[in-house]
Structure 1
Amino acid sequence: MFRITARTVLELGSELISSDIIAFYELIKNGFDAGTKAGVDVRFDIALPRRAYLKLVEKIGAGGSAEENKEAAAAALLHTASDEALEGFREAIAAATSRRSLLDNLAEAQKRFNRIIVSDTGSGMSRDDLERNFLVIGTASRKREVEAALKRGDAQTPYLGEKGIGRLSAMRLGERLRVETARADETHLNLLEIDWRAFGDVDAMLDQIPVAPTAGPAKPSETWSGTSIVISDLTENWTQARVTELTEDDFARLTDPFADASTRPRIAIYWNGDRVAVPIMPTALLEAAHAKVSGTYEIIDNAPVLKIVAEALDLGFDHPQEKQMITLTVDDLQGAIIGKEGHIEDSALTTVGPFSFEAHWYNRRRLSGIDAIGEQRAVREVQERWSGILLFRDRYRVYPYGEEEDDWLELDRRALRRSGYTLNKTQFIGRVNISRIENPLLVDQTNREGLRVTPEQHVLLQVIRYSIQDLLAAFLKDVEKQYKQQKIDLSDAQEQVTRLEDRAKTAIRKLKRLTPPEGDEAIEDLQQTLLEFSEFAANARQRIAEVEQESRQMIEMAGVGLMVEVVAHELARASENALKALASLKGKDVPERLRAHFATLQAEMKSVSKRVRILDPLSVSGRQRTEIFTLDELIADTVEAHEAQFGRHKINIVLDRPSRPVRIRAVKGMIVQILENLISNSVYWLDMRADREPSFKPEIKISILGGPPTITFEDNGRGIAPENRDQVFKLFFSLKDTRRRRGLGLFIAREAAQHNNGTLSLDENPSPETGRLHRFILELPLGAEQ
């Protein structure tokens, strides 16, 4: 059988409890798990901080008389510490007879009388509890009860912790531990003392370290129950400033700060007897957000449903408060969260369980004073203090999500690559709520540094990222597109303003030469008007520059189009050269096995060549030119160019051509682009359904009609939810997985249709089979037909 060395306990403690706040968190959770009604108190009783002690040691070591050093030691004590701590230090100082003994006495006092006490008034522990549970690392008692609650379907878990390693948290904070505890039906305290240094003996086995509970003095009162964890021989330098900082940054967010303050679990922090205020997040700060997104992920009839609400409240330009509500069902979530080549099973969309989230976004440059908080600077400081999107399980924090150095939603990484709104983590205040009962497969790593990497964890992360990075970002850009740019004409705007200003100045100079002295007052009024106009012109120039900066995204899209032209040219040349090389092999002494491969390759290259030729009208040089062409022939050529692709994906094509050719005048490249985007989307969603339904036979049906020229394009894939009928055409809205998510195809396709005075819409009649929308309709004006 295995034997465990004593130092293994030290290794476990250092590995599993990775920071001071995690240590406090575990000790505090234990108090609430014990059923405390009055909350948990954390008391720092520090008579001589570690840094002051080390300076004192240095001073004493440098020389001086015993009395001088003893006076210096007494003067270094913090008189706000408890009487017990101060008395202990003073006795140690008074008993010293030399510099050596003073150093020794101070070292011992430092270990004994500087303490951190975490106390609760919960159920307490008997000596048997200490023996059977507290001293059993990894005890299964709580885990059994949690699992039983899960099986029963209880509304709430009985315990926050269940791994049985929380008692190692005390080791992180100090080398000595004293447990003082009792149950309500007991008369005396039960004591347990541990010196963690004893576990450092490299030769000692765990069972050789004597640790056992003992009987203690009488309880404070007859009915009292609870536990005090007394930690001494502290390993860190604790000062009032550090405790205050820890309280403001960590203790304040240990439990859900969005919850009503009266319902939050009480955690009281004390520095040398004085209460340290735990900040409460002001509701006025949330009300001052410039935008927000919230959502609920529910499991309804054993299927997931994600409901997202995005709100644009004040984006810095005139616009009404806009709200967008989006509902995604299992078909949409399989595409957006799992994807075509997803490495996790669809079942994780259900087994993740229900959760909720909210994120409030701030443009920090535009934050102004708030009556309930203060001036602009104070508001910015408060917003920064509470910034981050935190994760809470049953109202208690899951670390490290939301920490300053943690970018669990990859907001900063994405912001560096995004134009427009930079949705980085410091601009958000938010939370995600999960529970142990509802989300049993979202469990902490043993070292408390985040959730274990599981399919369910992947779903949680991807849903939150998608809601913020994609849907909120797209929504804000859509609001901007609607209201910020609609009344601004950028054509020669800067030159126009400058030209008008110069004309006015020239006119005034001429007037001054022509006007008699009695007309000077009128000229001065005119000059003042010009000054006001010049100020307006300067503001206009600045606004024009801003709008041009915001329009860079469209310029970049044009750059992508140019790149497509270059690549298309190279691909055409390469494909033609390959075809020639393959053709030259005909009739030569080539093994049969290679001939079959060459035949396949030749077919593929012919398809590529056709595809490139079809794409040629998309080039920047030819894209805006209208011409007369036969619509049904163009569609047939486009479909033929995809022949190899359709073959690979086993997609059946039904092309319903009219009895007579439909000739139209339009921009040929734009019609091709519309078709290409529709085909690309169909192939993706048909694959999604085929992967999940082995007997499914994918099909695309294209029909062409005249009078007016109309194309209907439909497939039998996943379809689109009726409530998202208009959303799919919006810029950057996409339900594809992260690798393919662009949200440009249908937006550009509709723009192309409108450029040709036509419309591209999604038929509002759902399929009887799926209840979703499958048919796109491209209708050109009657006058386009030739």
Structure 2
Amino acid sequence: MASFQVAARALIHLGSELITSDPIAIYELIKNAIDAKSPNVKVLFSIPFPQEHILELSEKWSSLSLKSELWKKIIKEDLEHLKTMQRDEVDEHIIQRIDKYFKRIKLSNTPSKAAEYLLKINNIEVRDTGVGMSEELLNEVFLTVGTNFKLHAENEEQPVLGNKGIGRLSMMRLGKSATVTSWQNREEVNSIEFDWREFESETKLISEINFPMTKVTISSEDSSSGTNIVITHLTRDWTKENVKSLLIEKFLRRLRNPLEAKKFRFPINIFYNSSASNGRLAIKKMSQELMNGAQKSLLLKFDPHSNVPLRLEIKSEDGSNGIIPYETNLLSLSHTFDCNEEDLKKIGKFQFNLKWYNRPLFRDKLKRQGLGARHRDLINELNVWSGGIAIYRDGFRIGYSGSFDDKDWFEIDKKALRSQGYTLNRIQLVGSLEITKKSNPNLQDRSNREGLLDNKQLDIVANIINNIALDQLRETIQKEKDVQASELLDQVIEDGANQAASKLTLVKQEITKLTKHSKPEAKQILSKINDELHYVANQIEQFEKASSQLKEHREDILELAGTGTMMHVVMHELIRTTGQTRELIRKVSISSDNKTSDLLNKLENEIKVLNVRLRQFDPVSAKGRQRKSKLNLVGLIKTILNGYSGKFERHNIRALLTIDGVENNSDFYTNIVQGFITIALENLIANSVYWLKQNEIFSSFISATEREISIDIDTISKTVSVSDTGPGISPSDRDRIFTAGFTTKKSERDGKGFGLFIAKEVTQYHGGNLYLNNEANTDGRLRTFILELPKE
């Protein structure tokens, strides 16, 4: 007969593979308390001294020679030094225990014995008042790895969380020694002291290692039944800060499902260097402000044995339905996911909850509610809870599911990266998949607590979540974005007309003031300027007529919005031009006719140039009808650049136009619609000018940088690239910069974030494309836009 023999050290490998983190190890011990029907559990971190210093002293003492008479003196001096390293806020109970161990150390007859006592000072204790274990249970259950012993009847409401029989291995991860004391009545209390270092032997079999079980007495203050586990010889230093951050914030706060309607309450009490009730470290629930701040809430219920097997509801923050509740039957699902109805029935009943947060909208909502000061705190709170879809079995989270510390089990980010606009990603989501041991026997935990075992049922659940729930949520969000974008575009058009009209009034006022202070010769030039302004007024009037008769086609709206945006820019330049000229005239003597005439001629020329730019956006001309025509692209770009000549001169900006990378005077003709090219190039150049004139940015550059805008026409690929030497764009914003309303400019006055959105939308409508090249410069920033011309 042949049989397996198990090496002792296999247990250590098993524990390190299955218990993947310290918080998971502590949770395994907490689950034992829950399964023992304890009403609560206490986890006490008694860490009065830095563990690394304890380990250093232990190693030092273990190496001391017994033959030396100085070893006791050395240990005594080390203890005095150790006292100076005691942490603050250590309660009296722990101080008494320190004194007890210090006495034992001083009375030790060997340095190694003293080192053993030293390693017991810092410890982690887990206490419960559950049913406890008898000597028989300790031997046959607790000491049997892999046993699945159930204390609960199947009809009991409280779930059984442990089923792998590996929770006890978590003690090995936390420390190299542990004492387990358990009792079902005060008359029979059993205790086992484990030294896990015994399993490090390279020769021993697991059956050759035995730990004695002893009878002990307990305090009259202890409960009538329960279990205490004390872990010593700790493997890490538990500071108060990492207990809070690593254990509580990143793990225990998310242990219970915040989105679950019916909650099974189980208090977990964490203490640090204190056992008093006021020393308990709080485990906070999700903030109600955060809970209420979601823009969308989703609820999917699946029950293969009900009349409506699947029902999906998506609601907006005001409570209204984003879509009509979606319902389907098993037959339809089986066709959709290429499975049979029996496969669906094997999944069992589950529920999927999700909250979606648009972070900019969340911030704006907080400001409107007067909670702007809480914004940073609530964003940090969202960072704790977001990360995807957490899996909860019987109300308790499986491992780190639903966080960025875990795998993206439902491939949310993978799908988001394939979708334009990155609409739905893990950083925006707080989600929960609720399953139970009873209803979902085919959805089993991995032994290492990292997600669920792969099988057909899990694949179908993932498909339901991804291809029904999340797809419909994406569709709902996108529809609302389109509606909002359309409303915002209408506002851009209205603002373009209103602001242009009001700014023209200011320009005319400037001219009137100039006329009053001018001699007859100057008034003749001002009369020509007034003629130019009549054209400007006519352009605004035509624009208002066109915008009041908007057609239903999206491209008409977009192009008018683009026109309105650029008209606003041109009118702003008119105000600056006339304002500066008037100030200069005041400084020029009335008798200095030549100087006055020169200034007024300069003003007339600038207004003529601006009028040329306005003609590029005429919404009612033949070009405004957006018909294709043979166009000299070089001439158009030169015309646009000439409109910025004044700005280029004022801000010392060099504009360079090349064809296939070479400066020349050749023409390049293409059959194209002029309007969208004008909108796109005007926007790109205007943005470049804005960033190139930010003096504080250029003064922060390490090396001298020339302010330059480079435009190159590639006649082979039929593209126009526009780049500048400004601060560039972060790669993380590569797609976001084309989102309506997104801007990195200083204030709303500088831009509302619609220019690039409009330019891209109009360009794509006409068969072209506009995007930011993903080839970064040496500083990691992106600086080149590519305008793809439509295929002829």
Q: TM-score range by the shorter chain?
A: 0.5 to 0.7
- Which residue of 2 is the match for residue 378 of structure 1? 377
Q: Stretches of 4+ moved more than 6 A in 1?
A: 55-65, 370-373, 490-499, 530-538, 556-560
Amino acid at match of 1:310: I
Residue equivalent to 2:349: 354
Specify which of 67, 91, 97 is matched with residue 103 of structure 2: 91
Q: For 2:468 and 2:489, how far apart are their aligned partners in 1? A: 31
Superposition TM-score, scaled by structure 1 size: 0.60
Matches within 5 A, 1:582-661: none
Q: Given that residues 58 and 116 in structure 2 are in contact (C-alpha distance below 8 angstroms), is that contact kept between their aligned partners in structure 1?
A: no
**AA of the residue aligned to 1:204:** K
Structure 2 match to 1:113: 121
Aligned counterpart, 2:362: 367
Q: Deviations over 1:78-103 (max 9, x none)?
A: 36161343114432565599xx95xx
Alignment of 1:216-235 (within 5 A): 216-218=216-218, 220=220, 224-235=224-235
**How does 1:427-466 map onto structure 2 within 5 Å?**
427-466=428-467
Distance 2:85 2:7 in 1: 41
Deviation of the 1:364 alpha carbon: 2.0
Amino acid at match of 1:328: T
After superposition, the C-alpha distances for 1:393-444 in whole angstroms (9 at most, x for unaligned) are 1111112311223322222222323223532212112222111111111111
Corresponding position of 2:24: 22
**Matches of 2:572 and 2:353, distance apart in 1:** 48
What is the rounded CA distance, in whole Å, between the counterparts of 1:86 and 1:141 in structure 2? Answer: 38
What residue number does 2:508 align with? 507
Separation in structure 1 between the aligned mates of residue 199 and residue 163 of structure 2, nearest angstrom: 24
Matched, 1:396 2:391: no
1:763-785, CA deviations, whole angstroms, 9 ceiling, x for partnerless residues? xxxxxxxxxxxxxxxxxxxxxxx
Q: Tell me, in whole angstroms, the C-alpha distance in 2 between the residues paired with 1:418 and 1:45.
A: 50
* Contact kept? 1:56, 1:73, Cα under 8 Å: no
| Separation in 2, partners of 1:285, 1:423 | 18
Identity %: 28
When residues 70 and 231 of structure 1 are mapped into structure 2, their CA distance, relative to the original with a 3 A threshold, is closer
| Match among 74, 82, 91 for residue 83 of structure 2 | 74
Instruction: For residues 521-549 of structure 1, give each alpha carbon's deviation from its aligned partner in whole angstroms, at most 9, with x where no partner exists.
Output: xxxxxxxxx98999999759635326427
Q: Letter of the aligned partner of 1:434 in structure 2?
A: I
What is the distance in 1 between the residues matched to 2:485 and 2:462?
32
Is contact 2:390-2:401 (8 Å) kept? yes
Q: Secondary structure at the match of 2:119?
A: helix
Which position in structure 1 is the counterpart of 2:285? 280
* Cα deviation 1:5-35 (Å, max 9, x = unaligned): 2122112111111111211111111111111
Q: Is the 8 A contact 2:126 2:229 kept in 1?
A: yes
Partner of residue 328, structure 2: 328
Relative distance call for 1:85 and 1:545 in structure 2 (3 A) is: farther
Report what 1:187 is aligned to: 187
Partner AA of 1:348 in structure 2 = D
Q: CA deviation at 1:261?
A: 11
> Match of 2:140?
132
Contact kept, 8 Å, 2:331 with 2:341, in 1: the verdict is no
Change (3 A) 1:294 1:282: same
What residue identity is the alignment partner of 2:85?
Answer: A
Q: Which residue of 1 aligns with 2:317?
A: 313
Q: How many equivalent pairs are there?
A: 531
Amino acid at match of 2:135: R
AA aligned to 1:326 is Y
The Cα shift of 1:107 comes to 3.3
Q: Secondary structure at the match of 2:445?
A: coil
In structure 1, distance between residues paired with 2:424 and 2:763: 16
State the 1:188 CA deviation: 3.0
What is the identity, as a one-letter code, of the residue corresponding to 1:382? Answer: E
Partner Cα separation in structure 2 for residue 295 and residue 260 of structure 1? 13
Equivalent AA in structure 1 for residue 24 of structure 2: I
Letter in 2 for 1:414: K
Deviation of 1:213 after TM superposition, in Å, equals 2.6
List runs of 5+ in structure 1 lacking aligned partners: 518-529, 561-619, 623-786
CA distance in 1, matches of 2:203, 2:59: 34
Distance (whole Å) between structure 2 residues aligned to residue 201 and residue 17 of structure 1: 21
Distance 1:556 1:264, change over 3 A: farther
Q: Which residue of 2 aligns with 1:627?
A: none
Q: Does 1:423 align with 2:418?
A: no
CA distance in 1, matches of 2:133, 2:371: 45
User: 296, 301, 310: which one pairs with 1:291?
Assistant: 296
- Residue 322 and residue 247 in structure 1: after superposition, are their counterparts in 2 closer, same or farther (change >3 A)? same
Task: State the TM-score, normalized to the length of structure 2.
Answer: 0.59
Report the equivalent of 1:123: 131
Trace 1:521-536 onto structure 2 (pairs within 5 A): none
Aligned counterpart, 1:267? 268
In structure 1, distance between residues paired with 2:758 and 2:302: 39
Aligned residue for 1:112, secondary structure, equals coil
For 1:299, what is the secondary structure of its paired residue?
Answer: coil
Q: Kindly tell me: are residues 140 and 112 of structure 1, through their superposed partners in 2, closer, same or farther at Cα, counting changes over 3 Å?
A: same
CA distance in 2, matches of 1:430, 1:462: 16
Taking the aligned partners of 1:545 and 1:485, their CA distance within structure 2 comes to 14
Counterpart secondary structure, 1:419: coil
1:595 aligns with none
Q: CA deviation at 1:473?
A: 0.8
Q: Which residue of the partner structure matches residue 754 of structure 2?
A: 544
CA 56–531 in structure 1, closer or farther in 2 if over 3 Å, else same: farther
Measured in 2, the distance between the counterparts of 1:419 and 1:534 equals: 39
Alignment partner of 2:4 out of 2, 16, 31: 2
Matched-pair contact (CA < 8 Å) for 2:182–2:227: yes
CA deviation after TM superposition for structure 1 residue 167, in Å:
1.1
Question: 1:365/1:480 Cα in 2 relative to 1: closer, same or farther (>3 Å)?
Answer: closer
Q: What is the letter of the counterpart of residue 11 of structure 1?
A: H
Q: Contact 1:411–1:424 at 8 Å: present in 2 too? A: yes
Q: Distance in 1 between matches of 2:484 and 2:226?
A: 61
Q: CA deviation at 1:510?
A: 2.2
Cα deviation 1:303-358 (Å, max 9, x = unaligned): 872211122338xxxx987454212322442354x24xxxx655322211111122
- Maintained 8 Å contact 2:58/2:118: no
Counterpart of 1:288, as a letter, is G
Tell whether the 8 Å contact from 1:485 to 1:547 is kept in structure 2 after alignment. Answer: no
Distance in 2 (alpha carbons) for counterparts of 1:357 and 1:553 = 40
1:205 and 2:205 are equivalent in the alignment = yes
Deviations along 1:199-220, one digit per CA (max 9) or x if unpaired, are 1211111221113432212463
Q: Distance in 2 between matches of 1:51 and 1:553?
A: 63
**Structure 1 residues 280-323: Cα deviation after superposition (integer angstroms, max 9, x where no partner):** 1122211111222221112235x872211122338xxxx98745
Superposition RMSD in Å: 4.3
Q: Compared with structure 1, are the counterparts of its residues 189 and 374 closer, same or farther at alpha carbon in structure 2 (3 Å cutoff)? A: farther
SS at match of 1:183: strand
Q: Give CA deviations for 1:46-89 in whole Å, capped at 9, x if unaligned.
A: 12221243576899999999475443222113361613431144
CA distances 1:556-593 after superposition (whole Å, capped 9, x unpaired): 99779xxxxxxxxxxxxxxxxxxxxxxxxxxxxxxxxx
